[in-house]
Amino acid sequence: MTHVLIAGATGKTGRLLAAEILEKGHTPIALVRDSSDTNVLPVGTKTRVADLTDLPADVCAEADVVVFAAGSGGSTGPEMTDKVDRDGAIALIDAARRAGVERFVMLSSYGADQSDPSGDLAHYLKAKHDADEHLKASGVTYAILRPIALTDDAKTGDIRLGEGVDPSGEARRADVAAVLADAALKGRLDGHVAEMQTN
């Protein structure tokens, strides 16, 4: 049985990921803050209390795989984006490396390949870019998923992964969660950065 530590497990995508991991017979460990609403987590999910802005050294203890599916949210400013999406991710990557986890799966974003992005999401994409680059250089086995605009529609299983993604399309969170679960449990994206959309 694989133990998967999920940062962002109470978020819309994270809770779907926890359900996918449980469904496949493995154990999700939700990284939650004291103030998190854990009622949204599927029954059977373990919890570990910690804050991405101040992680304890042993945060990855007992975890075989770590998935970063957290985000500061659209209503926070640049400072919190840096603290969570960049610095929090980097701190968790470093903790995972120290703990000797098998792999680290990053939920990134379409456009995070740019080192100097522009537009409304520039600050967010820059933070994601920096975290992705840190992960690639960390020495930990990694997988980075970069979906386009997320929706809450039902899972289809009909996805496009890799090249040829339509930037104006969409990626259903349920499909994203399924791909993240496969990446975490089966290593299907090990060493790869993959863009994604739902067809």
Instruction: Tell me whether residue 80 is exposed, middle or buried, using C-beta atoms within 10 angstroms of its C-beta: 0 to 12, 13 to 18, 19 or more.
Output: middle
Question: Which pair of tokens denotes residue 113?
Answer: 């390949």
Question: Which pair of tokens denotes residue 97?
Answer: 């490396």
Which helix (H) or strand (E) element contains residue 132?
Answer: helix 122-137
Residue among 68, 110, 124, 142 flagged as catalytic: 124
CA–CA distances in Å: residue 19 to residues 23, 45, 159, 180: 6, 8, 19, 12
Q: Does residue 142 carry a catalytic annotation?
A: no
Largest CA distance in the chain: 43
CA–CA distances in Å: residue 136 to residues 19, 31, 57, 195: 27, 22, 21, 16
Which helix (H) or strand (E) element contains residue 186?
Answer: helix 173-186
Report which of 185, 168, 51, 165 is spatially closest to residue 113, judged by C-alpha positions.
165
Active site members: 124
